[in-house]
Amino acid sequence: MKSIAILGSTGSIGISTLDLVRRFPDRFRVRGLVAGRNLKLLAAQAREFSPDWVSIREEGEVSLLRRLLGNRRIEILWGDRGATAVATASGVDVVLAAIVGGAGLVPTFEAVRAGKEVALANKEVLVMAGEIFVQEAKKRGVRLLPVDSEHSAVFQCLQGNRRDDVDRIILTASGGPFLRTSLKRLDRVTVRQALRHPNWKMGPKITVDSATMMNKGLEVVEARWLFDMMADQVEVVIHPQSIVHSMVRYQDGSIIAQLGIPDMRIPIAYALSFPYRLKAGWRPLELTQVEKLTFLPVEKRRYPALGLAHRGLATGGTMPAVLNAANEVAVAAFLEGRIGFREIHRMIRKTMDAHMSIRPTEIQQILEADRWAREKARALIGEV
């Protein structure tokens, strides 16, 4: 039986992970839960799965959570220290890292330093600190198991093959809700429209990232570090059906692809049970019911965020952290109605233009770049 700590238990990945635990109580035990401000859901999860620890964002909400938990003997922690304590706790075998955005960097990094196996759903960790993070994982002998459907697909396509034979990784993108929207109308899209993803059910931030295709840009950076590839070995194609989750092309021209229904429980299950596969009982993909599989090139004018991600990767150093932080601030401003949809990539570009990248040697330098970028992006948004 594997003992699991879930960082981000009330988000979509965390909820799907707990559904998997519910299906396989003889294989997985939840030792710790980390969440933000959704105390009611966190309390319900804690009452059902009886973890040893839960951690929330704000110390001021501890008393409310205690009341929601009733007489359950569960230790309540808070803040970055609380999340880190759960991620590094003795007896935890696997840390499922699913905190959205840069907030997940420190507890996930500390989990690696503590020698924990990490099932990585937080792509921002490798975007912000890819080189340092991967070096630390190698040093500690820690296995990083991808949870993103695209990176899980690549991971599966690499099994049993030599890395030296890989020509390139091909990440697929649905194109989001605005794949066929005229460029003129993109300036007028609403938050509600941006959150209407055609295939996946996700949280608001990542859904907007899918609409701008910044999520795919972040995945390009993540793939570079996760699979030790050069930047030009990671390609993106649009695949509206979201059936082929990603592919690997080998030097002999062969392409190996991983297909499946768009259900995040599948890559989560593979990460937590690797190298085995679980018979989970959800609906399998029926090829005879798939009318067509189409693949399209990425239209640069429609998805400028992808180009910004490639720029951040090419510049290196602290620039990817700045890219990520500026995107988080800009997406939040869009969701709050303070800027338009197309202003998201413009705010990111302006923030990157103002940054002088350095090559970080420690996490603190990355956190400083992140802090600077957030302040800069907020200032730029305030000028709009």
Question: What average pLDDT score do residues 86-101 get?
Answer: 94
pLDDT higher than 70, residue 287: yes
Q: How many CB atoms lie within 10 A of CB 284?
A: 10
Q: What does the pLDDT read at residue 362?
A: 93
pLDDT higher than 70, residue 383: yes
Q: What does the pLDDT read at residue 202?
A: 73
| Lowest mean pLDDT across 158-167, 191-200, 336-345 | 191-200
Predicted model pTM = 0.91
For residues 4 and 199, give the distance between their C-alpha atoms in angstroms, rounded to a whole number.
29
pLDDT higher than 80, residue 198: no
The rounded mean pLDDT for the chain is 94
Q: Between these two residues, 176 and 9, which has the higher pLDDT value?
A: 9
For the chain, what are the domain ranges? 2-146, 149-263+286-305, 316-384
Predicted confidence band of residue 384 (pLDDT cuts 50, 70, 90): low
Predicted confidence band of residue 281 (pLDDT cuts 50, 70, 90): confident
pLDDT higher than 80, residue 193: yes
pLDDT higher than 90, residue 268: yes
Q: What does the pLDDT read at residue 110?
A: 96
**Phi, psi (degrees; rounded to nearest 5) at 115:** 80, 20
Q: CB-based contacts of 171: which residues, under 8 Å, 6+ apart?
A: 150, 154, 216, 219, 220, 223, 234, 235, 236, 237, 246
What's the fold here for domain 2-146? Rossmann fold (3.40.50)
For residue 122, give the nearest of 8, 267, 236 by alpha carbon. Answer: 8
pLDDT higher than 90, residue 123: no
pLDDT tens sequence across 25-75:
999 999 999 999 899 999 999 999 999 999 999 999 999 999 999 988 999
What's the fold here for domain 316-384? Rna Polymerase Sigma Factor; Chain: A (1.10.1740)
pLDDT higher than 90, residue 295: yes
